[in-house]
Amino acid sequence: MYNFRDTTSDWHFHEEWLPTVAMNFDGGFIEHTVSGYRTLTVSGREMLGVELTTEDVANGCIVTEERLPARELVITYQLDANSSEELLIRFKQLENILKTGKDVPIFFNDERDWRYYGRLSGVDDVPVESNSVVSSFTILCSDPRRFGKELTTAEGLFKCLGKCVPINMEFDTDFITGFMISNGVQAIRGLNANYVEGKRVKLDFKTFKVYIDDIEEARILTLDSDFENFELKNDMIITSAGIRNLIIKYAEVS
């Protein structure tokens, strides 16, 4: 005998049947969209090695550059259907989900607090002699880091226990002679520009684009601004001038 369960009133029921390594791709689990799809294994989430550029010297070498290589996530999955025709339909559904043409947020069922950003880069051959197939596809993360939950802060003493990066900054302009946001080491500076006075400005640190009232505007920053290398480290003091209502979104990375 079994107990009745009202799945319409318990949204957790649907989540319980997801594989541990199920992938949420661009806002949804594939298992929820493509019938017969199931994630089997995921590789590529392990710690990445670093690539070093060196110059030989008399005793050993000097490290001149250290970088992280791009990350590749390999997803092995199973796809079942009752007929070859239905299998082709489900493969088309899978293709439509994965071919985004841009990097999208990705997380896995067993680490929901961490996000990757990537896009489809390759697919393996699919066996054609069965209506139950096992294959794999590859997601390229050009930025190999994984990002924790987005948090917010403002001006003043910045606290972050791990390594943190800015996601975006938003503020209202209140200036005629320019603006400045500083962490004590780097500074982002705005040009003298009456045309942006009283507007809402967004600095996007993922794309390094600037928006004024949601419209892209490339002319607002001075040439010596530290936009692309602005850092957030523990115990930095964030200050500003010429702006109001500064909100900084950031995330821990690993």
pLDDT of the residue at 128: 73
All domains in the chain, ordered by first residue: 12-141 (2.40.30.200), 151-253 (2.60.120.860)
What residues of the chain score a pLDDT lower than 50?
A: 1-14
pLDDT of the residue at 12: 44
pLDDT of the residue at 69: 94
pLDDT of the residue at 193: 67
Q: Please state, for a pLDDT cut of 90, what percent of the chain lies above it.
A: 78
CA atoms within 13 A on the CB side of 182: 10
pLDDT of the residue at 9: 38
Distance of CA 55 to CAs 16, 64, 69, 88, 142, Å? Answer: 53, 7, 20, 54, 26
pLDDT of the residue at 8: 39
**Residue 49 CA, distance from chain mean position:** 20
pLDDT of the residue at 176: 65
pLDDT of the residue at 175: 63
Model pLDDT for residues 24-65, shown as the tens digit of each residue: 999 999 999 999 999 999 999 999 888 999 999 999 999 999
pLDDT of the residue at 48: 87
